[in-house]
Amino acid sequence: MKERVEEYAERHLLSVARLDRIVGEKTVAEPFRSYFYCLTVFALELETIRKKIEDGSWGMQSLAEMQEQNQMLYSDILPENYEKSYANPTYAGQVLGAEYGPLLSLLYTELRGGISYAFENRTDYLTILNELLIEVYNSFEEEVPEYQNVKDKIYWYASDYCDVFLADRIEEQLDPSCSFAADLICQADLDDERYLYRFGEYITENERGTARHLRELSAEKLQKMADVYTEGYRMGFVNTGKDLSRKSVVNIRYCLGFERVIRLAMENFRKMGLSPVIYRAASSVITKREQIKVGYHGAIANKQYEYDHRADQALFLDKRYVERKLDVLKHVYEKNKKQAAQFAGPAVIEVFGEKPFSPEVKKEAPALSEAQRALVLDYDSRSGQITNQYIKGEERSFTIVSYPVPEIGERYPEIFDDVIRINTLDAGLYEKVQQTMIDALDQGEYVHILGKGKNETDMKVQLFNLTDPGKETIFENCVADVNIPVGEVFTSPVLEGTEGVLHVSSVYLNELQYLDLKLHFRDGKITDYHCGNFAREEDGRKYIAENVLHNHETLPLGEFAIGTNTTAYVAGRKYQIEDKMPILIAEKTGPHFAVGDTCYSWSEDIRVYNPNGKEIVAKDNSISILRKEDVRKAYFQCHTDITVPYEELEEISVVTKEGKRIILLQDGRFVLPGTEVLNRSLDEEESPV
């Protein structure tokens, strides 16, 4: 990367000089002149920031100056300004024309990715963006070009620079020396709020308030948070029999504001022999995946903006481009195969508490065609296979933990403390209670889940047939390791015979809210789906197809689980934040159903045991087992958990081959002997103050 920066030095100076001239030119006709003027001024502002970073003068600014600058960089896409922003494909279409609008809105969005490049002093990346802008601008001089002419420029930008943006993206996921964020976290004065603005991300009261709150916590409590996070990661390897000592790299993903905990966690990981890679969430159409943030990031300035541009690649995606990306992927992994083998997996801190978001569906926003959806699915499948070839699923693990942000409400400090308590519950108690539940489940032929009141859930989940119950088990006894907090038992259901309706009144999945979500299953696969987010049913179906099914025709039920964390459930009701709970916690507060891959994808052949010594044998289903014939048919590269809360449940029961019904949960309460202790939190909630 360093060599490339030096190589681009002269090109960078030339591109900036050309942008300076564009500002005063009038060779492009309206309405395009105003558009290009706006983009050029923005690009030059990024260059001004980059120079301040380079000469050190940026760090001499006051907090107020940094805040003003941060607001300026993101002001155009904030909700109050977005209606008249070129980043809005609807507005761009109105002003620039229905044909050019979405394409030039994509260009505008790609240029906005330069914010992070300026703060990282990446003149190579900024040069590439500047040259793209100049090339498209030049084509509009004197007369408006053919649409295909501009589309080709965008296409070749994406194709030509795959071996820069995509290659660098892979390497920064593997190589600790690509350490912009890690260095900043270690070196920054965390008592000085200005450090947050050095990342080049959008900063709001959520990030500032989180950093202030952590500053007020005791050293002991901060260390406890870090220890829970890193110990969960370590135990993920221990519990699955994987050798952590063979690894040297851990990927830390988090939201800005948690640097005090991250700094402590980095030290914990180093004691395990792991160096951190902390890469930024992608912003380029070449590297990002829909609206999902993978990597560290600040606030999301406008979720509608992110949603509008989730499928920008639809404007140029074809088979040749897919093959180009796969070639780059394969080449970079092969080049870095020794480093890739050292990668242990991600350790993630998620946040929750923001206002639930349900997007507006815009006809002007790019959308994949049927042929393009097939290409994306093919890319996802083949890229997953390539990644697993170099970062083997049977050798890696992960952990995830979640904390609230100040937006959750006035009781934020109380909620934060309660979440720390939830994340550190007595794993031993849950292990014992959950084993009692598993002993009952292991007797079953299927599990019946029935909703109550307005909840229409009526699911039959077929269970694996044990051949040696004395040594084998169907469900995993999940305590606080990879999925923090504690509190679930889960299995890979048998697809054949699994059927019914899954219904939940409100759920928040991958940053998106779903209202009155219904999924219909037959033989373990989704056959129909609906939601109440939109006036038109077809908009709801499209919303689910794109964001839950991820453009697959159907998905199997990859996991069935019963959450046992009544403490988390009561906390959600106590603070009236049930609709804001992340799925990581929400999945522990009722039965949950995951559509997509199983929990054991890419590592099904590793032998895994519960604490009582029984081997967990229900890891495959009739789709995942196809990996032995054709791996392309076995995996979907997605796994989405959907929880039915306790209060919407009439009953969960296990039905044996003999027809005996063992009731686990009735009317929202645990009734199986040996599990009643889980009702204590529920009783405390119901008792008068």
- List pLDDT tens digits, range 564-618: 999 998 998 899 998 888 878 888 888 999 999 999 998 888 888 999 999 999 9
Read off the pLDDT of residues 665-680 as tens digits, 9 standing for 90 and up.
999 899 999 999 999 8
- C-alpha span between 390 and 383 (Å, rounded): 11
If asked whether residues 441 and 576 sit together in one domain, one would say: yes
Q: Is the pLDDT of residue 686 over 80?
A: no
Structural contact between residues 319 and 195, judged by C-beta atoms closer than 8 angstroms: no
pLDDT at residue 689 greater than cutoff 50? no
Do 285 and 230 share a domain, yes or no?
Answer: yes
Q: Taking residues 366-392, what's their average pLDDT?
A: 93
Decide if 25 is inside a domain: yes
- What stretches of 389-537 adopt beta strand conformation (E)? 399-404, 444-451, 458-462, 472-473, 476-478, 488-491, 494-509, 512-522, 525-530
> Which of 313-351 are b and which e, b meaning 16 or more Cβ less than 10 Å from the residue's Cβ?
bbbbbeeebbebbbebbeebbeebeebbbbbbbbbbbbb
Per-residue confidence (pLDDT) for residue 645, from 0 to 100: 86
pLDDT at 426: 81
Distance, CA of 483 to CA of 586 (rounded, Å): 12
| 427-447 mean pLDDT | 94
329 belongs to a structural domain: no
pLDDT, tens digit, for every residue of 299-317?
999 999 999 999 999 999 9
- Give the pair of three-digit tokens for residue 541: 């179906």
Domain-embedded: residue 377? no
Side chain identity, residue 110: E
Q: Which run of H or of E encompasses 563?
A: strand 557-563
Residue pLDDT, tens place only, 68-104: 999 999 999 999 999 999 999 999 999 999 999 999 9
Residue 663 counted as domain residue: yes
More confident residue, 297 or 603: 297
**Residue owning tokens 């499948």:** 381
265 and 136 fall within a common domain: no
* Same domain? 589 vs 447: yes
What pLDDT digit, counting tens, does each position of 164-192 carry? 999 999 999 999 998 899 999 999 999 99
Q: What are phi and psi of 220, to 5 degrees?
A: -65, -45
19-30: average pLDDT:
96
Is there a domain that residue 254 lies in? yes
Are 611 and 519 part of one and the same domain?
yes
Q: What pLDDT digit, counting tens, does each position of 646-659 carry?
A: 889 999 999 999 99
* Cβ atoms within 10 Å, residue 599: 20
Residue 193's pLDDT is what? 96
Same domain assignment for residues 138 and 185: no
In a domain, 167, yes or no: no
CA gap 475, 220 in Å, rounded? 36
Q: Are the CB atoms for 378 and 551 separated by under 8 Å?
A: no
Question: Are residues 156 and 176 both part of a single domain?
Answer: no
Same domain, yes or no, for 485 and 563? yes
Is residue 108 predicted with pLDDT exceeding 90?
yes
Is residue 267 assigned to a domain? yes
10 Å Cβ neighbour count for 249?
22
Give the domain extent around 624.
425-529+555-686
The mean pLDDT of the chain is 94
What was the pLDDT predicted at 2?
62
**Distance in Å from the first CA to the final CA of the chain:** 62
Query: What total number of domains does the chain contain?
Result: 3
Residue 1 has pLDDT above 80, yes or no: no
Report yes or no on 408 lying in a domain: no
Cis peptide before 611 (omega within 30 of 0): no
Assigned token pair, 596: 């997509």
pLDDT score of 687: 45
CA distances from 600 to 140, 393, 445, 608, 624 (A): 53, 9, 21, 10, 9
Tell me: do 277 and 355 sit in the same domain: yes
Do residue 143 and residue 182 come from a single domain?
A: no
> Position 656: which residue type?
T
What is the rounded average pLDDT of the residues 536-561? 94
Using the structure block, give the residue that is written with the tokens 């107020």.
64
Do 614 and 484 reside in the same domain of the chain? yes
* Reported pTM: 0.90
| Same domain as 646, residue 606 | yes
Query: What is the per-residue pLDDT for 688?
Result: 38
pLDDT band at 239 (very low <50, low <70, confident <90, very high): confident
